[in-house]
Amino acid sequence: MEQIIRLKDCDPNFVYEVEEAGGENVHLCFQCGTCSAGCPTVYTMDYTPRQIMRMVTLGIKDKVLNSETIWVCASCYTCQTRCPRGVEITNVMGALKSIAIREGVRAANEKGPAFYNSFVEIALSYGRMFEPLLMLKFAQKSEGSLSGTLKHLLRHASLGMELTKKGKIALMPHKIKGREHMKKIIENIRKIEEEEK
C-alpha cells in the first residue's frame, strides 16, 4: 500500500533515542530484508522488521511506537543472528518497547505492555518464570474486569492443561537464589531512568 511520509511527521532524533535505549547500529541497515524473511512472527505484524528499521531511521516515531510489530516480536534473535550488517534488530525491538512504555503510548496491541509488565513482576518475585501466574496477571491486566479475566483464562484452559500434561508448565513456582541482587539491578535502572527524565 502506498503511503506518503511528511517531513513534519518525522523526528530526526528518534534514531538516536532508539540507539541510546539499547537498539544499537540501526543506521547500518541497508534494507536487504533478510530479517523479515526469517522472522517467525512476521505474519502477525503490521510492519515487517525491515520496514520498522527503515521507519526508525526516517524518524517515523508515532507509527513505530503504535505498531503491533514491536509487541508481537518474540525476541527470538533469528533476525539479529542473520543480519549481514550486524544490526541488533531484537535489541531495537526491545528499545522500542521500552520507549513506548516510558512514553505511555497506547499501543495498537494493548495486550503487549500488559504481557511485558506481568513478565517483569514475576521475574522480580521468583527470579524466573512461573507461567500459571503469568497467565493470571496478564488476563487481569489486559481484560480489566473479573468476568473478562475468567473468560480469558477459560479460553486458554485446554492449552494450559495440555502443556501441564507434557511437563512444559510447572504447577508450583521455583525461586532462584540471589533475587535481591536482581531487584537491586532493576532499582538502579529505574533510578537512572528517573534521573534522565
Closer by beta carbon to ligand SF4, 53 or else 135? 53
- Judged by CB under 6 A, the chain residues 65 through 84 that form the site for ligand SF4 are 73-79, 83-84
- Judged by CB under 6 A, the chain residues 104 through 143 that form the site for ligand SF4 are none
Cell of 39: 522472522
Number of residues in contact with ligand SF4, rule: CB under 6 A? 27
The single residue listed with the C-alpha cell 518525522 is 10
- Could you give the CA distance from residue 47 to residue 61 in angstroms, rounded to a whole number? 13
Closer by beta carbon to ligand SF4, 35 or else 139? 35
Listed ranges 12-20, 46-54, 101-109, 180-188: which one lies at the site for ligand SF4 (CB under 6 A): 46-54
Minimum distance, C-beta of residue 66 to ligand SF4, in the bound complex (Å): 17
- Could you give the CA distance from residue 136 to residue 46 in angstroms, rounded to a whole number? 27
- Could you give the CA distance from residue 27 to residue 119 in angstroms, rounded to a whole number? 30
Residues 156-183: b if buried by 16+ CB within 10 A, e if exposed: eeeeeeeeeeeeebeeeeeeeeeeeeee
Listed ranges 3-11, 23-31, 141-149, 172-180: which one lies at the site for ligand SF4 (CB under 6 A): 23-31
Q: What is the dihedral of CA 63, 66, 69, 74, to 10 degrees?
A: 140
Minimum distance, C-beta of residue 115 to ligand SF4, in the bound complex (Å): 14
Residue 85 engages ligand SF4 in binding (rule: CB under 6 A): yes
Residue 55 engages ligand SF4 in binding (rule: CB under 6 A): no
The single residue listed with the C-alpha cell 527470538 is 76
Positions in the binding site for ligand SF4 (CB under 6 A): 29-35, 39-41, 49-50, 53, 73-79, 83-85, 87, 89-90, 93
